[in-house]
Amino acid sequence: MRPTRVFVGLGSNLGNRRATVLAAWRELQELFFGAPELSPIYESEPQYDREQPRFLNAVAAGRTRLGPFELLDELLAIERRLGRQRDQERPKGPRSIDLDLLLYRDWLVCHPRLVLPHPGITERLFVLQPLIDLDPELTDPQCGRVYARYLSETGEKGIYPING
């Protein structure tokens, strides 16, 4: 398989959030050709379960030869190595690390294990902004619309760039 461009969302709201996000990014380097790009890191309010700490979020972009399900399995393995225990968490609750496969080239996938593009990209400013930071011309493979055009429609506020 030839290298495919992918985008992965990174988020953390437990422990040393910045160190965990950067550790996940370093592990992603093993899955990609060359160093993946990393967007600026943003702090955001929790979206669903408000009774938890703020998140740090970023998006990584790179090229991989792994298929989408292989890549998903590797992302879950990275989460486990960085201390995430999905079976012991409440849904949408606090987590040490969350890695989401957002886009895999322009593929559309609807499978019980994986939906691409990742649902909610266009409604979550904490995903949309770092994605656009990496590629302002990136288009939604479902409709061909440039993702940047969704910014004014999110209705979400409360993300803040983290310096350094």
Q: Is 113 a catalytic residue?
A: no
Tell me the domain boundaries of the chain: 4-161
| Residue 62: predicted pLDDT | 96
The active-site residue out of 17, 84, 124, 135 is: 84
| pLDDT recorded at residue 93 | 83
Which two three-digit tokens encode residue 97?
């690390």
Q: Is 26 a catalytic residue?
A: no
- The residues, ordered by sequence, that sit 6+ positions from 81 with a Cβ below 8 Å of its Cβ are 27
Per-residue pLDDT, 106? 95
pLDDT tens-digit profile of 58-104?
999 999 999 999 999 999 999 999 999 888 878 888 999 999 999 99
Q: Is 95 a catalytic residue?
A: yes
Topology of domain 4-161 in CATH is Alpha-Beta Plaits (3.30.70)
Listed residue (83, 74, 81, 80) closest to 15, CA to CA: 83
* Whether the predicted model's global pTM rises above the 0.85 cut: yes
Q: Which of 5, 54, 100, 106 is catalytic?
A: 100
| 50 counts as catalytic | no
